Amino acid sequence: MNNVISSVKADKLSVYKTKQKIKKALNLILKYVFLLAFGYLILYPLFYMISVSFRSAETFFDPSITWITFNLTDEFAKTALDVLSYGKTLWNTISYEVVSALLEVISCSVAAYGLARFDFKGKKIYEAMLFITILVPVQITVLPQMVNYAHFDILGILGLFNKLTGIDLRPNLLDTHLAFWLPSICGVGLRSGILIYIYRQFFKGLPKELEEAAAIDGANSLTTYIRVAVPSSGVVIFTVLIFSLIWHWNDYYLSATYLTKNFPLAVSVSRIAESLQVRGIYWGTGSPEATAIVMAGCLFFVLPMLIFYMIIQRKFVKSIDRVGITG
Rounded to an integer, what distance in angstroms lies between the CA atom of residue 248 and that of residue 17? 54
Res 72: pLDDT? 65
What angle in degrees, to the nearest 10, is found between the helix axes of 234-249 and 192-204? 170
For the entire predicted model, the pTM comes to 0.80
More confident residue, 267 or 12: 267
Q: What value does the mean pLDDT take over residues 145-172?
A: 83
More confident residue, 288 or 182: 182
Res 327: pLDDT? 42
At position 199, the amino acid (one-letter code) is Y
Beta strands per DSSP E along the chain: none
Rounded to an integer, what distance in angstroms lies between the CA atom of residue 188 and that of residue 104? 8
Has residue 89 got a pLDDT over 80? Answer: yes
Has residue 70 got a pLDDT over 70? Answer: no
Has residue 62 got a pLDDT over 80? Answer: no
Has residue 170 got a pLDDT over 70? Answer: yes
Is residue 262 within 8 Å of residue 179, measured between CB atoms? Answer: no
Res 112: pLDDT? 92
- C-alpha distances (whole Å) from 45 to each of 6, 16, 48, 125, 295 are 60, 45, 5, 44, 10
Cα angle, residue 253 at apex, residues 139 and 270 outer, rounded to 5°: 150
Query: Which backbone phi and psi does 72 adopt, to 5 degrees?
Result: -85, 150
Res 326: pLDDT? 44
Res 66: pLDDT? 57
Rounded to an integer, what distance in angstroms lies between the CA atom of residue 70 and that of residue 51? 11
Has residue 55 got a pLDDT over 80? Answer: no
Closest CA to 249 of 314, 194, 199, 191: 191
Q: What value does the mean pLDDT take over residues 8-37?
A: 81
Has residue 246 got a pLDDT over 80? Answer: yes
Q: What value does the mean pLDDT take over residues 68-93?
A: 83
Rounded to an integer, what distance in angstroms lies between the CA atom of residue 142 and that of residue 130? 17
Rounded to an integer, what distance in angstroms lies between the CA atom of residue 302 and that of residue 224? 39
The mean pLDDT value of the chain amounts to 83
Which residues, 6+ apart, have CB-to-CB distance to 62 below 8 Å? 69
Res 150: pLDDT? 87
Q: What value does the mean pLDDT take over residues 32-44?
A: 87
Which residues, 6+ apart, have CB-to-CB distance to 291 below 8 Å? 52, 60, 283
Res 67: pLDDT? 61
Q: Which segment of 49-53, 91-95, 208-212 scores lowest on mean pLDDT?
A: 49-53
Rounded to an integer, what distance in angstroms lies between the CA atom of residue 87 and that of residue 220? 46
For the stretch 260-300, pLDDT in tens is 989 999 999 988 888 887 777 777 666 778 888 888 898 89
Res 87: pLDDT? 92
Closest CA to 99 of 183, 14, 155, 30: 183
Has residue 254 got a pLDDT over 60? Answer: yes
Is residue 259 within 8 Å of residue 150, measured between CB atoms? Answer: no
Res 311: pLDDT? 87
Res 221: pLDDT? 87
Has residue 2 got a pLDDT over 60? Answer: no
Neighbours of 95 (CB within 10 A): 15
Query: Which backbone phi and psi does 55 adopt, to 5 degrees?
Result: -95, 140
- C-alpha distances (whole Å) from 1 to each of 5, 7, 320 are 6, 10, 61
Report which DSSP code applies to 58.
G
For the stretch 93-148, pLDDT in tens is 999 999 999 999 999 999 999 999 888 888 888 888 888 888 888 878 888 888 88
More confident residue, 210 or 66: 210
Percent of the chain at pLDDT > 90 equals 22
Q: What value does the mean pLDDT take over residues 77-85?
A: 89
